[in-house]
Amino acid sequence: MMVKSLAGSLTAALVAVVWYWSMGTRITYGDASQVRSLIEEAFLTSWEDYEAYGWGSDEYSPLKRTHKNMGASDAPLGWIIVDSLDTMMMMYNSSGSSRLLAGILKAQTWIDNELNYDLDSEVSLFETTIRMLGGLLSAHHWSSQMRVGNEQMYLDKAIDLADRLSMAFLQSKSGIPYSSINLHTGEAVKNHVDGGASSTAEFTTLQLEFKYLSYLTGNKSYWELSEQVYKPLYSLNGLVGPQWDGLAPIYTYPDTGEFRGNHIRFGSRGDSFYEYLLKQYLLTHEKLYYDLYRASIEGMKKHLLGTSKPNGLVYIGEKQFGLRSELDPKMDHLVCFMGGLLAMGATEGLPIKKARKQPFWDTTRESDWKLAQDLTYTCYQMYAQIPTKLSPEIVVFNKEDAVGRSNWISESGDFYVKPADRHNLQRPETVESLMFLYHLTGDNKYRQWGWEIFQGFQQHSLKPRMRRPGKVYTSLKDCIQSPTQPLDNLESFWLAETLKYLHLLFQDDVDLTKIVFNTEAHAFPVLDTRSLRDMKLKTGWSP
């Protein structure tokens, strides 16, 4: 394997030469506290610019300094503020920075006094749950741990929002919610395209948030409503049977529970369906969800795995026309969460040396562990083999000999990038997996890779303003050509996820057995099994 051998031979050299100049100080990825400080500074650069020129708005263009809200009523959802808050809390808990504390207090005051979810506006059930409900619940958790902030206020806001979102589960015949909900009227609205079908990942990525809220309040209805989507999905379609092998098509008709089409992938509209099977087990200890996760992972190994030529990079492809169709070697950057997920599924958050001594360890988990490392390496190569060292949104892996191809982008010929996929949105999935793999192994190569990715952001997504002094971070329209072309937008997940996972990568005391991150990187504590029993919060269905 030429690329793997090359990477291995360069590791020792990179330890010595990878560095970053900041205020005259030479910093390497081994200087964890100084790297954390740089990551905090990157966060504060984006946050304080938003504070100054886009405060309260849901969308912000940092180069032009323009902003707007998402809803039809032009009232804010707190898209950036709520999504970013627990990152500030986590960073403040590590560093004690007065600037971070000031940001926390300003955000808390705005949420308390300005944020009102009685909006006559149609919002995405999925996005509002993972970002806003998840952000409020995580802020509640962090503020209760740190004694910084008004923990009850966050919970009250979360209850109000969840009560409005809950109406979406009550209006379809199957209990599978429609895609959108009006937060004022409670009217649920079907997807405006795709024949009204809901994204499978979207309605199966609500359960961590609603179950945690049931645990906090004792109100079982949140748990039961979010759980009811699985019965029609599994029983009607025979999802764990041979037709699907645990792999769900990316669209489902909400009124009937039947799948729309046969397109199967672990990228957009499929990804977090698999993620929340495992994470429900890790959060609530419900074994059914581990068993369903296990069936899906075995189906993925059987049907979706491929290896590139010439260097054997392992990837998860797609089946556009069902399990019997040809494997499409396309892989979204979104799929790169799978390295971390497989690692957590194998170890349950224990360091690998301890996990291998547990009664649950077997050859299947060892196989998952190896695949987790291989996929994480592939996702790192999606950065390392690009000239700017930043990954595009989607790559297509080479299944044949690359000789004669003129459009290979990677330095080794392992993959190419279509013109429409050259953008970089500062996504978190690769650094997410690096964070998990580092804390489960203690292997510094994962910090090295994360440091290289962070340097790519520093060099190529930190852009000068248009006709104004200063630089700000932005997503990129084209991350292949240098100089890169900016998109001029601030994605909230840059603050909520990417910089959070990078910061966690360089922390030294992360215990992955005690915390579960939702799909937007909002942290919930692992729930106490005795308390769950006392509250009669348990699995209420079977396939």
CA dihedral 108, 80, 271, 295 (to 10 degrees): 0
Q: What CA–CA distance (Å, rounded) separates 257 from 197?
A: 9
Residue 377 in tokens: 């390496």
Q: Which H, E and C letters describe 404-446, residue by residue?
A: CCCCECCCCCCEECCHHHCCECCCCHHHHHHHHHHHHHCCCHH
pLDDT tens for 179-223 read 999 999 999 999 989 899 999 999 999 999 999 999 999 999 999
Mean pLDDT of 305-315: 95
Query: Please, which pLDDT band fits residue 21 given cuts at 50, 70 and 90?
Result: very low
Which residues lie across from 60 on neighbouring strands? 67
Contact predicate 504/517, CB 8 Å: no
Annotated binding site: 519
Give Cα 190 to chain centroid, integer Å: 25
Mean pLDDT of 144-171: 92
Contact predicate 42/458, CB 8 Å: yes
State the pLDDT at residue 406: 52
State the pLDDT at residue 241: 92
Query: Does the structure show a pLDDT above 90 at 146?
Result: no
Amino acid letter for position 35: V
Query: Please, which pLDDT band fits residue 401 given cuts at 50, 70 and 90?
Result: low
Residue 33: other Cβ atoms inside 10 A: 12
State the pLDDT at residue 13: 31
State the pLDDT at residue 14: 35
Query: Please, which pLDDT band fits residue 71 given cuts at 50, 70 and 90?
Result: confident
What does the DSSP 8-state code read for residue 164?
A: H
Buried b (16+ CB within 10 A) or exposed e, 264-286: bbbbebbbbbbbbbbbbbbbbeb
Dihedrals φ, ψ of 315, to 5°? Answer: -140, 165
Least confident of 90-94, 223-227, 361-365, 403-407: 403-407
Query: Does the structure show a pLDDT above 90 at 349?
Result: yes
Return the closest-CA partner of residue 281 out of 360, 354, 175: 360
Return the closest-CA partner of residue 186 out of 257, 115, 111, 125: 125
Q: Which H, E and C letters describe 283-315, residue by residue?
A: HHCCHHHHHHHHHHHHHHHHHCEEECCCCCCEE
Q: What CA–CA distance (Å, rounded) separates 328 from 316?
A: 9
State the pLDDT at residue 465: 83
Please spell the DSSP secondary structure of 81-93, one letter per residue. Answer: HHHHHHHHHHHHH
Angle 327-333-339 (CA atoms, 0-180°, nearest 5)? 85
Return the closest-CA partner of residue 437 out of 523, 511, 316, 352: 352
Active site residue ranges:
127, 271, 393, 429
- Average pLDDT of the chain? 92
Annotated binding site for Ca(2+): 519
Query: Does the structure show a pLDDT above 90 at 149?
Result: no
Fold of 32-535: Glycosyltransferase (1.50.10)
Q: What CA–CA distance (Å, rounded) separates 278 from 281?
A: 5
Dihedrals φ, ψ of 384, to 5°? Answer: -65, -30
> What are the C-alpha distances in Å from 63 to residues 60, 178, 341, 482?
9, 36, 35, 19
Residue 466: other Cβ atoms inside 10 A: 12
Residue 258 in tokens: 């039947």
Residue 300 in tokens: 């993925």
